[in-house]
Amino acid sequence: MLKIIIGSFVLSASLFAVDLQSDGVEVNYKNSKDEVKTIIIKREKKDECKNVNFDPKAVYGGNGQAADSVDANCKRAFVTYMGKISPIKFSEKVETYGEVEVLDFIAKAKTNKNMMLVDSRTENWFYHETIPSAVNVPYIYMKQSQYPDEFEEYVEILGVKKVDGKYDFSNAKTILMFCNGAWCGQSPESMKALTAIGYPEEKLKWYRGGMQSWLSLGLTTVKP
């Protein structure tokens, strides 16, 4: 482990993670026309934002928002009153990921076809904006009683087969699920549906911060 000492703070991270943060992760994704595109996932630092003072009066202006002096291209605003806040852990066996772990997962998934990044939001959210390389498995179709055909189609995408009326999880993928943020219940609903049929919890990972955290850090997104 690499330990970087900054003032009185000690930051610990793997060398691989540090490289991911500085160099980004190159991945392929398909757009709505089924064309394969290549993109580098990284923190996007616009030139006009590089000189913003890291000062409380600049970062936190009135009402907790960035100061008026900060260029409009260097700040984001989010709706903050929606949904129900999820606990930090879905269950004891499902790991909760932060952004560095998500980048690490994406990098490893490039050469490991048994790993899949899953956007569990509905299609309108997915096609508006998503994390590069994510596969859309809408949570609504995980409602087996309402959408039995779609349910079977999507669990097969996740590596699950039905043999003699029973689900076979021997080739189930390790999936990292996300939705809109800590207030979004779409990925937790998907995980509930999958664990209900016996999907191994140790093969489920959860990016709790989702799109809101991803965007707040200026990380690359795509419009499929």
Residue 39 lies in a domain: no
Residues 71-102: tens digit of each pLDDT: 888 888 888 888 999 999 999 999 999 999 99
Residue 67 lies in a domain: no
What residues make up the domain containing 155? Answer: 95-216
Distance CA 172, CA 17 (A): 26
* In contact, 190 and 120? CB cutoff 8 Å: yes
Residue 170 lies in a domain: yes
Residue 37 lies in a domain: no
Distance CA 163, CA 184 (A): 34
Q: How many domains does the chain have?
A: 1
Residue 88: CB atoms within 10 Å: 9
Identify how many contiguous H helices and E strands the chain contains and give both numbers: 7, 11
Residue 53 lies in a domain: no
Residue 165 lies in a domain: yes
Give the helix/strand (H/E) hosting 25.
Answer: strand 25-30
Residue 184 lies in a domain: yes
Distance CA 50, CA 55 (A): 13
pLDDT band for position 136 (50/70/90)? very high
Residues 7-56: tens digit of each pLDDT: 333 334 444 444 787 889 999 988 888 889 899 999 888 888 888 888 88
Residue 179 lies in a domain: yes
Q: Residue 116's domain is classified under what CATH number?
A: 3.40.250.10
Q: Looking at residue 58, what is its pLDDT?
A: 82
